Structure 1
Amino acid sequence: MQTLHATSPEEHAAALAAHPHLLVDYWKDDCPGCAMLDLSLRRFAAEPAAKGLVLLKVKLEDLGEEFFRGLGLRQTPTLSLYRDGREVARLPGFQSPAQVAAAVAKVS
């Protein structure tokens, strides 16, 4: 699984347009759940379900609360799955590698 980082709304939009199978991790500093989710995503990356999927990391401190609120995000961490630029699933809070794999399989 390839990992990208968006530090602007334009980079976020470009990633959505460029990658048909995208998993977006919306996170922030000083968030224990975000740190745990990062470990979970590292484990998930080694699973077969991660093949062909791109992970986009989007940090609240880089894009701002207004951007996050504009997406309807209420908490960090939140994972969103996108297919062809359209959000197809949203997973708020910590997710285990198995939960991430199940969500990816459900929308594939």
Structure 2
Amino acid sequence: MFEKQIARSEVPVLVDVWAPWCGPCKMMAPHFAEAAKVLEPSMRLMKLNSEDHPDVAGRLGIRGIPTMLLYRDGREIARVSGAMSARQIVDWANTQMAQGA
């Protein structure tokens, strides 16, 4: 299901991999939502709960959370770990897209 959503998206997809027990993830959640207001609709933002979907997190090679993955044309082009502010999320995503990573 996750891979199909990524593959079918006509716009880049930014995924926040998180878990409910993760303190930095909880701190970043409102910033990710704020970044979505800036980045959408030119980019799709989605969250992946690694506790509910450990198989997907494993396939993605997630070693720590929060981790953000950026996809374009169905393939991962960048990833970053650690909590970020809304501005940092927006700047990181836009920089990755501009670099044509």
TM-score normalised by length of structure 2: 0.84
C-alpha RMSD over aligned residues: 1.5
**Structure 2 equivalent of residue 80 of structure 1:** 69
- Is the contact between residue 21 and residue 52 of structure 1 (CA under 8 Å) also seen in structure 2? yes
Query: What one-letter code is carried by the residue in structure 1 that aligns with 2:33?
Result: R
1:72 is displaced (CA, Å) by: 1.5
Deviating beyond 4 angstroms after TM superposition, the runs of 4 or more aligned structure 1 residues are: none
1:23 counterpart SS class: strand
2:85 to 84, 96, 103: 96
2:21 is the counterpart of 1:30: yes
2:41 is the counterpart of 1:51: yes
Q: Measure the CA separation in 2 of the matches of 1:86 and 1:13.
A: 10
- Is the contact between residue 89 and residue 103 of structure 1 (CA under 8 Å) also seen in structure 2? no
2:5 is the counterpart of 1:15: yes
1:16 is displaced (CA, Å) by: 0.8
Q: Measure the CA separation in 1 of the matches of 2:4 and 2:84.
A: 26
TM-score normalised by length of structure 1: 0.79
2:90 counterpart SS class: helix
Note the alpha carbon deviations across 1:12-68, whole angstroms, 9 max, x for none: 011111113101111111111111111111221232x4432111211112211x432
Q: Measure the CA separation in 2 of the matches of 1:45 and 1:17.
A: 20
Q: Measure the CA separation in 2 of the matches of 1:41 and 1:104.
A: 11
1:46 counterpart SS class: helix
Identity %: 31
Q: Measure the CA separation in 1 of the matches of 2:96 and 2:75.
A: 12
Q: Which runs of 5+ in 2 are unaligned?
A: none
Flag the 1:70–1:45 CA change in 2: closer, same or farther, 3 A: closer
